[in-house]
Chain A
Amino acid sequence: MVMANYPNKALWRRLRSTLPAPLPLRRSSAKLLMMIVLILCGTALACSNPQTSTDSNSSLGEIPGILAHAINNDVSEGIISPEELIAIGAQIFSASFNTLDGSGNTKIRLFTSDNEKSSLLARFNRVSGPDANSCAGCHNQPITGGGGDNVANVFVLAHQFPNVNFDEGAGDSLEVLTLTTTGNERGTISMFGSGIIELLAREMTHDLHIIRDAAIEKAQATKQSVTVKIHAKGVSFGKLTAWPDGLLDLSKTEGIDEDLIIKPFSQKGVYTSLREFTLDSMQLHHGLQGEERVGVDIDADADGVVNELTAADITALTLFQATLPLPVIADLDDEERSAYAKRGEILFGTIGCAVCHKPYLELRDPVYTEPNPFNPPGTRNIDSPPMLYSVNLLRDNTSNTIEVTEAGTYRVYAYTDLKRHNMGEILANETLEQRFVESPVWLTRKLWGIMSEPPFLHHGRATLLDEAIAAHGGEAKQSRDDYLNLSESDRIAVIELLKTFRMP
């Protein structure tokens, strides 16, 4: 039994060299991070005892990809700072995981008759996973934390099969599979600005729950059914009816699950928080299990490694992603392009794109804390011990995608409504339903930063923005048609607007 590697003085020395290139975080934060890493390295050097060989030997031979884990107590007792956690998160995000970390496909334990060769081959599987050695292996465009090229596409839900190789054998669960019935091919999307997006979703969920709870109360008080419109931050989610006996009729709700929780992550909008998304991703893509899912000192995947990811590691990864920089709207030096983009902005509204790609949502509080109170079972939530940190995500913000209002709120120009929509037949290509979301239904894509992470659409099949727009249908059909009926010059204007949405 191998214990996952915990903070080790000698290994801290390697941390500095393995950290990704300085992230384009807030400048002061980036400097602060580097200072902390240097201090940690210095402390490690000072504290290391040259007379004992254990420390120096610990880095001899092969070592895990994760050089240092975060310790739960350090987080729960507030010993470790958010900046230190972010540094650890950055290191884990970029690490190349290996057997010593506990990565690999443990479902092959089911194949009792397989030989050594096929077992080795099955340890990684590009279709059914684990399908990557590193988070940054896919999230790297244009820099670590970003989106991915088509080569980094994943096959969502294919993990239900132990080891897909289309031979109709045990690895395929004896099923006759094709690439389209095995999993849903999806592109890798950027995590930039995701902390702010999660905060917007939390506030919207809070607002929706207030409306729901008030309707239930009123129904019980009046002893009559009460139907109310449900909306948050100017986005309508239809209507619900509350009955005096407490039963809710959600038949008229739109674009949201029955729990009325906004789920802003994954292209289907099925993940509530970065934490939930991270826990699932680490397990499905890398074969690494979080101890908050399987328990402390439990080798649930029988790979000989326990505590593969501490709860604090997941917090570190979550914070790292939450504090990634915000996309920007490029200022154009070229007068002609600038004029086109300005016209495009007007057209974007008049042809109806802005109905779903709502230019901004208004955030009340930019302070990110963990855990998300709406997390589902299996992920730390409001009933879990609190994590003692909070980070103001806009403290040193320089991105022009944020506009402070006179009321002290923040307009976040992410160009989404965080709602699911039926996008029509062309985009209904998936055969497997993910968490009850039907094939043509997708979460409105955040358009901020989009020009820095081509190709486009959920499966990366559009290499041009024009192609992506033309593939819209369903609820967006009228806007798509209006776009296609624009003059060439006007279409270019819309494209020029979209071209200003970039990573910093």
Chain B
Amino acid sequence: MLKNKYTITAVTLIAGIALGFIPLFLMYSSQADEITLLQSNEAEISKTNEDMIEQIANFQFTEEDVDRLEAKVSRLLLKSASGGGVNMKMMPHPQTGELSVEMAEVFSFDQNHAFCRVETNKEAFIMPTYKMGDVLIEENEFFMAMSTTTIEDFKITTDTDGNNKLVMTGGLDCFTEVAKASMILGSREIAEYASYKIEAVDAGLGGGRAGDTFEFTVYFDESIAPINYAIFGPEFTFTGDMIDGEITIPQPW
């Protein structure tokens, strides 16, 4: 009886331990599965990571390629941008002071050059100069020509009105000759260097009537362009109503 009691107790104890162990065993087994799964995931993630790193490297290479292609297209666009025409500017009349004397500025530009030229003045006018006050210019006594020597940078964009716009900057030679009664200021042969910024806007076919504009802003440094500085000052924009010509600027990339 006593033996049976011990046996029952031992069996019960073993059964209890066994029963208690089952959930632990089951739990451990499932965790082991999870660990295996995680280990497998880790390997997979590592592989994916490596693939991504490789893809990123390839992507960077592609971005460089895109940049290079875009640059080529942009440079091609510059090649197809050009224009030429006449800007009319009104100058003060010597007697009335009214802006009634016509001065025609002829201009032209493309990827290799730009110029702006006033051949002469058909009537006398008052030139309000920067340093010399108002100078009376008799008829056929004014000449000015600006011709680019370098194009350092360009920018083709669409402006906020939706028009295509080209900006170019660089250096130019400026020939200005102003004749007065007793003297000649400047020269048609000897140039003064200056830097410039050109802004040309293509508003569609039709030139000035369609809204095309051409502005030639020149920056004169007194130490290297004293005559033009004395006449025009440190910054002067040559422009006017575009009465003839056409400006063509392609859609930017």
Contact = CB atoms under 8 A, between A and B. Distances in A.
A300 B167 contact: no
B223 A383 contact: yes
A270 to B, nearest CB: 11
B96 A258 contact: no
A251 B234 contact: no
A113 B97 contact: yes
Interface string A461-495: 00000000000000000000000000000000000
Interface stretch (A33-41, A138-146, A242-250): A242-250
B101 to A, nearest CB: 12
A249 B74 contact: yes
Contacts of B97: 110-113, 170
A253 B253 CA distance: 13
A436 B71 contact: no
A247 B154 contact: yes
Nearest to B66: A227
Nearest to A474: B160
B71 A249 contact: yes
Secondary structure dominating the interface of B: mixed
A298 B132 CA distance: 8
Contacts of A174: 90, 98-100
A436 B133 contact: no
Nearest to A377: B221
A241 interface: yes
Nearest to B220: A377
Contacts of B128: 107, 110
Interface stretch (A95-103, A203-211, A437-445): A437-445
Q: Which of A251, A259, A294, A422 has the most CB of B within 10 A?
A: A251
Secondary structure dominating the interface of A: loop
A112 B95 contact: yes
B163 to A, nearest CB: 11
A441 B157 CA distance: 14
B68 A225 contact: yes
Nearest to A259: B169
A479 to B, nearest CB: 19
Contacts, number: 124
B61 interface: no
Given A246-B152, A436-B167, A376 B219 contact: yes
Contacts of A343: none
B159 A438 contact: yes
B66 to A, nearest CB: 9
Contacts of B98: 170, 174
B195 to A, nearest CB: 8
Nearest to B78: A249
A293 interface: yes
Contacts of B134: 109-110, 302
A300 B153 contact: no
Given A173-B99, A227-B68, A249-B75, A377 B219 contact: yes
A22 interface: no
A113 B90 CA distance: 19
Contacts of B72: 225
Contacts of A173: 90, 99
Nearest to B63: A227
B130 A300 contact: yes
A377 B153 contact: no
Q: Which of A107, A259, A302, A377 has the most CB of B within 10 A?
A: A377
A438 B95 CA distance: 38
Interface string A271-304: 0000000000000000000000111001111100
A72 to B, nearest CB: 16
B222 A378 contact: yes
B160 A250 contact: no
A452 interface: no
Nearest to B225: A377
Contacts of B222: 295, 377-378
B124 interface: no
Interface in A434-456: 436, 438-441
B206 interface: no
A58 interface: no
Interface string B94-113: 01111110000000000000
A239 interface: yes
A251 B74 contact: yes
A32 interface: no
A253 B167 CA distance: 12
A376 B159 CA distance: 25
Contacts of A253: 155
B130 A376 contact: no
A282 to B, nearest CB: 14
A190 interface: no
Contact of A243 (B64, B67, B75, B90): B75
A301 B134 CA distance: 9
A439 B151 CA distance: 27
Contact of A249 (B90, B96, B131, B153): B153
A302 B128 CA distance: 11
A293 B90 CA distance: 26
Contacts of A107: 128
B131 A298 contact: yes
A428 interface: yes
A76 interface: no
Contacts of B159: 438
A239 B68 CA distance: 12
Contacts of B253: 251
Contacts of A252: 70
A224 B223 CA distance: 37
Contacts of B126: 110
A112 B98 CA distance: 9
Q: Which of A109, A225, A299 has the most CB of B within 10 A?
A: A225
Interface in B163-208: 167, 169, 195, 197, 199
Given A224-B68, A249-B78, A298-B131, 4 more contacts: A110-B97, A247-B152, A300-B133, A377-B222
26 contacts: A110-B126, A110-B128, A110-B134, A111-B97, A112-B95, A224-B68, A225-B71, A227-B70, A247-B75, A247-B154, A248-B153, A248-B154, A249-B75, A249-B153, A251-B156, A251-B252, A258-B167, A258-B169, A294-B130, A377-B219, A377-B220, A378-B229, A379-B234, A428-B160, A438-B159, A441-B160
Interface of A: 107, 109-113, 170, 173-174, 224-225, 227, 239, 241, 243, 246-253, 258-259, 293-295, 298-302, 376-379, 383, 422, 428, 436, 438-441
- Listed from nearest, the 6 A-B pairs whose CB atoms lie closest are A378-B234, A227-B67, A248-B153, A377-B221, A250-B155, A241-B71
